Amino acid sequence: MQTLSHEDVVVLFASISIMLLASRMFAELGRRIKLPVVMGEMILGIILGPSLFGYFFPEIFNKLFPETGNVAISLNAITQISVVMLLFVAGMEMQLPVVLKQGRLALFTSMTSFAIPFTVGFWLAWIKPEFLQVERTDTHLIFSVFFGTAMGISALPVIARILMDMNIYRTKIGMLIMASAMFIDLIGWLIFSVVLAMMDHRGVGVGLGLTLLYVISFGVIMLTIGRKLLSRSLPFIQTKLSWPGGVLAFSLGLCFLCAAFTQVMGVHAILGAFIMGIALGDSVHLHEKAREIIHQFVTNIFAPLFFVSIGLHVNFITNFNLQLVLIVLAIACIAKISGASLGAFLGGLNKRSALAVGFGMNARGAMEILLGTIAYKAGIIHADLFVALIILALLTSISSAPLMRWVTKNNWG
């Protein structure tokens, strides 16, 4: 049986230690200047990666963060676990009753907020791939669907944090943005899971059709029967088992089980974790303290390892393409803001409030980064486009709150 050598273990633990300790310092620095925590972790990854540290100290960088070998495999396994747990927590933040309560307004906003940028992104990638510096191959349809999804998706965790920081989470606009973002996240990840299934099958056929059937069946069962069974089990688990170990083991155990199930179905493990998070987080019997423990455990230990690791594999300086960055920014922001604003306006909001919803929905953050990273590792996109998507996520997350304040003049009604 192959095992890690003594030196491998030392390097692995040293790498994890550096990533965790440094990410906490950068996250705190980012918080002081009103940046989302994830932005500090991302910036650290760029600093530690080949863009800076690896450029000036290549020998130390290659030793700490090797591209091949046992340490690289171990770090990759940890980041895979981190992605699954991140989507599990993101699912727990989605509350289906909130979406339903917003009714017609949320329906208009979420549909146009996703459909318009998705359509624009898909059309550009399909008709004019040279604008994105992509050549037509046998996976061109896959790339086009992915790019449309990347243009349409929002970032639920980042949006929630922005609204809370602005003290408008419970306002009409705040709840509308949250409800719409929840629906868009669900649709976006479902589509992206299909994209990954298409990558495996390299086209539309019987295999993909069965995969779609499995995905829909799994989602429906988990959000109906599974959701009820979880809700009935939670009171027993939280009162009869040791606290908080019992609920932690139960929650994460089911998270990984569902992740394994969707992976077997030919869909990425993230979908299983995401749907499991929705089913568990939607239960009225889940204690807020338990929810907070799971959230803190994942976001402060596993999330930093994932977001820091992003910068370790791409050179953000050599792969920075200004023309491509500007094209992606223009398409994403114009289509997203106009789509969300149009839906909110049609739903009954005035022009200023509708535009504020558009700026709020434009925050991409963690979801765009997750989407781009998985696509890059799967070979769907090239390094230059990956860097452009990361810059899109950073800039839209930073600019969302100031633009919302500017358009409403802090008058939230």
What mean pLDDT is predicted for residues 206-211?
59
Give pLDDT tens digits for 168-201. 766 777 778 877 877 787 777 677 777 766 665 5
Tokens of 84: 């699954």
Tokens of 322: 């200004």
Considering only residues 347 and 160, tell me which one the structure prediction assigns the higher pLDDT: 347
Per-residue confidence band for 17, with pLDDT thresholds at 50, 70 and 90? very high
CA–CA distances in Å: residue 412 to residues 349, 387, 408: 12, 35, 7
Place of tokens 């969707």: 262
Please, what is the average pLDDT of the chain? 81
**Given this model, what pLDDT does residue 249 score?**
87
Residue 97, domain extent: 86-306+320-408
30, 95: one domain: no
How many Å apart are CA 228 and CA 236, to the nearest integer? 14
Give pLDDT tens digits for 372-403. 877 887 788 888 898 898 888 878 877 887 88
285, 331: one domain: yes
Residue 281 belongs to some domain of the structure: yes
pLDDT at 258 over 60: yes
**Given this model, what pLDDT does residue 119 score?**
92
108, 173: one domain: yes
Work out how many domains the chain is built from and give that number: 2
**If you ran DSSP here, which 8-state letter would residue 350 be given?**
-
78, 138: one domain: no
What mean pLDDT is predicted for residues 27-55?
79
Backbone dihedral region for residue 266 (phi beyond 0: left; psi -120 to 50: alpha; all else: beta): left
349, 261: one domain: yes
**If you ran DSSP here, which 8-state letter would residue 301 be given?**
I
Q: Do the beta carbons of residue 379 and residue 134 sit within 8 Å?
A: no
**Given this model, what pLDDT does residue 257 score?**
92
Residue 96 belongs to some domain of the structure: yes
Give pLDDT tens digits for 325-338. 999 999 999 999 99
How many Å apart are CA 182 and CA 110, to the nearest integer? 9
260, 222: one domain: yes
Residue 1 belongs to some domain of the structure: no
Per-residue confidence band for 203, with pLDDT thresholds at 50, 70 and 90? very low
Ramachandran angles phi, psi of 294, nearest 5°: -60, -45
What mean pLDDT is predicted for residues 333-358?
88
**Given this model, what pLDDT does residue 330 score?**
93
* Boundary of a domain, candidates 52, 83, 114: 83
How many Å apart are CA 51 and CA 62, to the nearest integer? 13
Q: Under 8 Å CB-to-CB from 8, ≥6 apart: which residues? A: 69, 70, 71, 74
59, 93: one domain: no
53, 197: one domain: no
110, 66: one domain: no
* Domain of residue 333, CATH code: 1.20.1530.20
Tokens of 271: 């979908």
Least confident of 205-209, 214-218, 281-285, 317-321: 205-209
The Cβ of residue 164 has, within 10 Å, a number of other Cβ atoms equal to 12
* Boundary of a domain, candidates 35, 57, 83: 83
Q: Do the beta carbons of residue 94 and residue 266 sit within 8 Å?
A: no
36, 127: one domain: no
250, 363: one domain: yes
Half-sphere exposure of residue 5: CA atoms within 13 angstroms, side-chain side: 6
Residue 413 belongs to some domain of the structure: no
227, 280: one domain: yes
What mean pLDDT is predicted for residues 345-356?
85
Residue 314 belongs to some domain of the structure: no
Residue 289 belongs to some domain of the structure: yes
Q: Under 8 Å CB-to-CB from 278, ≥6 apart: which residues? A: 91, 92, 94, 96, 186, 222, 223
Considering only residues 377 and 120, tell me which one the structure prediction assigns the higher pLDDT: 120
Residue 158 belongs to some domain of the structure: yes
What mean pLDDT is predicted for residues 131-150?
82
Residue 311 belongs to some domain of the structure: no
Greatest mean pLDDT range, 114-123, 246-255, 339-348: 114-123
Place of tokens 């550096």: 18
* Boundary of a domain, candidates 53, 83, 113: 83
Tokens of 96: 């289906």
